[in-house]
Structure 1
């Protein structure tokens, strides 16, 4: 869990990064700054840090076998070693982003490099370097008092509740590529440009990564294999998804043997699941571990993508959260229609 309650901003610099593909320019600020007004500092902290709530982390990738060959890693590494290098390395980071802004879909914007002190994460207190890009401008109305009459004036500015692209690099495990949290609210192509091309990151093989990907494996198995094409009723598909998500909700540590026994159950389905998992690992390049700590945040994030609704023609939507034994499927020859019989004790 990330906690920024006692975090302090130590330094800020802003550069303007244009779209290199369209002939835009890189405009470098002459100096860093730190606002004197505590209210402005508080607003900036909220703008920069409030979106970071997940436990999904990344690491910097090594280029040509060396982490120092990754430009952003090298710049941040220098900043953590020498606070006096903050400005010079912020320029290096801005230049790297400008070089990667070579696509017509990439928007120009302001680039903020920020130094934070006393970030509280799982490993304890640490400093962090934040890299933020603001691309979206909003129009605001400003009230002006002119000779005892209030008037309105429009201004273009940044909405402090909207942060387009961001990352926080925590000064933890530098030898492994640091611990990095990423935010990108734009489309998939731009996310690749920000996370892969500019920052050069790869997902950390941690509890969030393992939990999230194993749940995706379960969801895709039901969609691709455990489905109607293989004579699996929709109610059974939903039951499999419910058992999967409930298993992770109840477990502190995932055990694949227990998962197969309690969730997948039937030997032929277990075999189909194992075959699908091997193919999934190869295609996605995800090495699953037989045991790992379960991330509650990953379960919460993935739960909303698990289907619980049984749609019957256009007449009924049945939400299935309980056990499969309380729902029974049949066929009425007189009506020439399928039916479901539901068993329950109390009606609310």
Structure 2
């Protein structure tokens, strides 16, 4: 009955209620539900009035919830179920933030994908709703790069950066996950109904809120902890000083996840919060998917590096690179001069110069050599 008890308790207590973690550390969900219904009280715990009021109609609430879920094609998963991400358990070990804490009792999922599998390599991309064109392009490109590298992009499906991040991932034909502050059957914002349907087809739309629940401010804040916990790192792309996306960054920081930022110009108010996060050491500045992978500890970095084309300079032997560095466009230099400056043998320099001449990187000029063309571009 644990799954049913968790579902019932989620309809009694507001998800993210900071009283739940300590309570569930001592009592099973079924025992808490029993006490809420008027059974034997829980030692040392005063039952909140709001919980007992909702318990009077709990059976009907559960029935309505299941009916709505069936109609919308939602499924309920909780700890112990296949597809449950163990990373969400980390929320049990951090302090409350803005009146919210703890792992979700369960999640409602729209879509057939496996959430645990999608979370194995996942990055959150969040940011300003009223983003600039620059921010929108950065978010889309970053999401596309990460999705192309087989990373799952997770965001909140809001206007601005969130929507751009989802679209960037979908453009690469990859799954993405939208975490909502309302029921997973509610298209919010309404104009993102098509986007949310596409996300559900390719990935997942999820929420800890019961089907039919509407979004309110506190639910956005509690939703943010799930976005942060599901991922290995969070990237904020543009964020004003009071942006809600900074709340996600703070959750990621508390959880020990990697925190990153892509701010806009220093004069942009839309990036004031992102600038402050970088300045205060709360986020590392990143500019590309490669930067993000490097900050995540190199996961996938080898693949990223292999996909990046090397320049002609990178492919030269060490002595040839050193010799090329010693050449100038206008001033002719002898092999002896180059060897003395670079501190390698004259024989190695002469051998390198022969190679550089064959590749048309260096050319003779009188008794010496000059640079013919650059090798460090393209």
- For normalisation by structure 2, the TM-score amounts to 0.25
User: Per chain length, whose mean CA-contact separation is higher, i.e. which structure has more relative contact order (CA < 8 Å, sep 6+)?
Assistant: 1
Q: Which of structures 1 and 2 has the bigger CA Rg?
A: 2
Higher helix share: 2
Give the structure with the larger strand fraction. Answer: 1
